[in-house]
Amino acid sequence: MTRKLIAILRGLPPGDAVAVGQALVEAGITTIEVPLNSPEPLVSIARLARAFAGRSEVRIGAGTVLTAQEVAQVRAAGGRLIVSPNTDAQVIGAAVAQGLDCWPGVFTPTEAFAALRAGATGLKLFPGALAGPEGLRALRAVLPPATQVYAVGGAGPGNFAAWRAAGADGFGLGTALYAPGLTADAVAARARAVIVAYDAAGGPA
């Protein structure tokens, strides 16, 4: 089963990257982003990409990607996933041109449709805590039905069901899974708890 969950490893040091990544993948979370405002993020991405090079179901990439140049750097490091906090047509275009999945951050219908026109793979509703499930429900009413929307920031094991009922396809999770200093075993335990809650809320959309 491929669960629609993105692990956001903000603050991950390169020395912990492979162990934390393996803990997540073994628990069942196979999409991982290292935000570019982490320590030496491209090193972590490269190490993760090498570690899972033979696993087509594992997708490694970057978050907080703000420029087309950063898209190229992520691809050069072996990343296949571009996640941004905002909607930038140049970033989306660069990702699409290089064959990478692209999840820009959106908050309004204007941003959502601009992202889709630019070729986004799916939409990251951010910050989810401000939009809430009702904000997503209203956005869903006007989006093309096949649009994938992940709730990020304010979505977690305690409210997966409410978000799913409002139309969330998946979730990006940060501190619910990882914080700097956590051991791989601790991350694995958090990941297992997240998966139990996710599956109980209905699993993949």
Q: What is the set of active-site residues? A: 33, 124
Residues 40, 44, 47, CA angle at the centre, nearest 5°? 140
CA distance 84 to 36: 10
Kindly give the pairing relationship between strand 31-35 and strand 59-63.
Answer: parallel
Give, in order, the Cα–Cα distances in Å from 162 to each of 28, 105, 145, 175: 22, 20, 19, 19
| Cis status, amide bond into 127, omega within 30 of 0 | yes
Nearest to 78 by CA among 54, 104, 99, 47: 47
Q: Taking a C-beta distance cutoff of 8 angstroms, is the pair 28, 1 a contact?
A: yes
